[in-house]
């Protein structure tokens, strides 16, 4: 994995709000008015990119942006307006379940064949589509588990211990070569992709950005700690069967061994994590704070909503023979079909 400690370059803008945010960070313009930020389309390219840029300052930042901007009061005000717009849309568009038990049960229902990306890639996906999928998912997987770490100081007792145990596995169990972000970089290398952190930000769709922004939104707000636990549960409980299908897709299309290993690793690890998250993370949290059950369910439902939007975008584009990316990948590999 390319390891540039300066962070990636700022992305190209996708509208007036993201243009103003990136110009401000470059020192070439003012921040957008809060009313402009709060009026942007909640799932659109402009808002999602502007929000992603604001959040990335809390991770590795950007090469040309001073570290002090992480806590810039004006930028935080703009971020707050973007967050309120996004969160309001999620609450309005997420139907919700009558109970947390219903939300958790829904995660165990396998998607209908033909309606999920992992089924499509396993059964008929082509190598170029696997590369596009990996490029978009790299925005999260190259910092896998990091957004969920924000919740650790907001938990205690059984929930904290269990959450830390799962995160420890995600970070390789103390072995740098087993860190899941490193394994994903190895997968990308097998697929002929650039492993530089943030390399595919300009190429990724708004739907892909929203799935990553959701984790940061939940993680950076203590009041949304229950929702972040719900997101974590949704990821871990659904990961094993989806990863099995993606591992089969890698084998069928002739991807390299590292590409297969990443998903093979998640088939085994996340089958164990599912039980820990369900019984100890959620169970421990609700034993201490039972009033957060609704928030956990909301986190599960919001995750499903955004993943469905992302999957729908991918399948619509691919079935039409189009690239799912804003900027199609160069064919760095010989013989890609």
| Per-residue model confidence as pLDDT tens digits over 10-69 | 999 999 999 999 999 999 999 999 899 999 999 999 999 999 999 999 999 999 899 999
Within 10 angstroms of residue 178's Cβ, the number of other Cβ atoms is: 14
Looking at residue 5, what DSSP letter applies? T
CB 57 within 8 A of CB 44: no
Provide mean pLDDT across the span 295-319: 97
For the chain, the domain total comes to 2
Lowest mean pLDDT among 24-38, 66-80, 105-119: 105-119
Q: 288 in a domain, yes or no?
A: yes
In this model, does residue 272 exceed pLDDT 80? no
Whether the pLDDT of residue 335 is over 90: the answer is no
- Cα distances from 65 to residues 10, 19, 55, 140, 165, in angstroms, run 8, 15, 13, 21, 34
- Say yes or no: 85 and 117 in one domain: no
Q: Please indicate, yes or no, if residue 337 is contained in any of the structural domains.
A: no
Same domain, residue pair 137 and 66: no
Kindly state whether residues 88 and 106 are assigned to the same domain. no
Asked if residue 181 lies in contact with residue 148, where contact means CB atoms within 8 angstroms, the answer is no
Distance in angstroms (rounded) separating the CA atoms of residues 154 and 219: 10
State whether 102 and 84 are in the same domain: no
What is the pLDDT confidence band of residue 336, given thresholds at 50, 70 and 90? Answer: very low
Q: To the nearest whole number, what is the mean pLDDT of the chain? A: 92
At residue 96, the pLDDT reads: 77
Instruction: Give the Cα separation of 196 and 77 in Å (integer).
Output: 30
**24: containing domain:** 16-92
Model confidence band, residue 90 (pLDDT cutoffs 50, 70, 90): very high
Same domain, 198 and 268: yes
Question: Is 167 a residue whose pLDDT tops 70?
Answer: yes
Tell whether 331 is covered by a domain.
no
| pLDDT surpassing 70 at residue 333 | no
Distance (Å, rounded) from C-alpha 228 to C-alpha 111?
A: 23
Q: Give 185-210 pLDDT, tens digit per residue.
A: 999 999 999 999 999 999 999 999 99
pLDDT over 80 at 271, yes or no? no
55 and 199 inside one domain:
no
Are 119 and 87 part of one and the same domain? no
Q: What percent of the chain has pLDDT over 70?
A: 95
Query: Is 149 found in the same domain as 69?
Result: no
Residue 33, domain member (yes or no): yes
More confident residue, 111 or 315: 315
CA 100 to chain centre: 22
**72 shares its domain with 170:** no
* Spacing of C-alpha 310 from chain mean position: 11
- pLDDT for the residue 3: 55
Q: What is the mean pLDDT of residues 308-317?
A: 97
State the helix-helix crossing angle for 293-319 and 127-141, rounded to 10 degrees.
150
DSSP 256: -
For residue 260, being part of any structural domain is answered with yes
Residue in 275, 204, 205, 203 with CA at minimum distance from that of residue 239: 275
* Claim to verify: residue 51 and residue 181 sit in the same structural domain: no
pLDDT of residue 334: 39
Residue 154: CATH number of its domain = 1.20.910.10
**pLDDT over 80 at 2, yes or no:** no
Do 79 and 172 belong together in one domain?
A: no
**DSSP code of 328?**
P
Query: Is residue 335 in some structural domain?
Result: no
Whether the pLDDT of residue 155 is over 90: the answer is yes
Per-residue pLDDT for 251 more than 70? Answer: yes
Instruction: Give the pLDDT confidence score for residue 337 in this predicted structure.
Output: 44
pLDDT in tens, 210-236: 999 999 999 999 999 999 999 999 999
Residue 4 has pLDDT above 70, yes or no: no
């Amino acid at each position: 994995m390319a390891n540039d400690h300066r962070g990636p370059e700022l992305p190209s803008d996708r509208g007036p709000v993201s243009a103003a945010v990136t110009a401000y960070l470059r020192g070439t313009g003012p921040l957008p008015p809060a009313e402009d930020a709060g009026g942007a389309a909640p799932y659109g390219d402009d808002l999602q990119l502007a929000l992603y840029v604001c959040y990335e300052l809390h991770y590795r930042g950007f090469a040309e942006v001073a570290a002090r901007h992480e806590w810039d009061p004006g930028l935080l005000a703009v971020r707050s307006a973007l967050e309120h717009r996004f969160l309001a849309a999620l609450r309005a568009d997420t139907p919700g379940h009558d109970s947390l038990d219903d939300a958790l049960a829904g995660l165990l229902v396998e998607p209908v064949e033909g309606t999920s990306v992992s089924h499509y890639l396993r059964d008929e996906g082509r190598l170029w589509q696997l590369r596009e999928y990996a490029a978009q998912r790299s925005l999260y997987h190259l910092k896998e588990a990091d957004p969920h770490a924000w919740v650790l100081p907001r938990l205690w007792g059984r929930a904290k211990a269990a959450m830390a145990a799962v995160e420890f596995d995600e970070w390789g169990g103390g072995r740098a070569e087993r860190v899941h972000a490193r394994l994903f970089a190895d997968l990308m290398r097998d697929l002929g992709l650039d492993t530089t952190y943030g390399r595919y930000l300009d190429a990724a769709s708004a739907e892909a950005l929203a799935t990553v922004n959701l984790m940061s939104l939940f993680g950076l707000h203590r009041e949304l700690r229950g929702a972040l636990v719900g997101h974590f549960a949704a990821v871990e409980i659904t990961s094993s069967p989806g990863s099995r299908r993606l591992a089969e897709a890698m084998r069928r299309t002739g991807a390299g061994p590292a590409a297969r290993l990443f998903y093979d690793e998640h088939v085994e690890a996340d089958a164990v994590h599912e039980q820990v998250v369900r019984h100890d993370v959620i169970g421990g949290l609700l034993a201490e704070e039972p009033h957060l059950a609704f928030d956990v369910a909301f986190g599960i439902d919001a995750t499903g909503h955004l993943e469905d939007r992302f999957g729908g975008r991918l399948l619509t584009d691919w079935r039409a023979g189009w690239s799912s990316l804003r900027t199609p990948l160069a064919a760095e590999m010989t013989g890609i079909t």
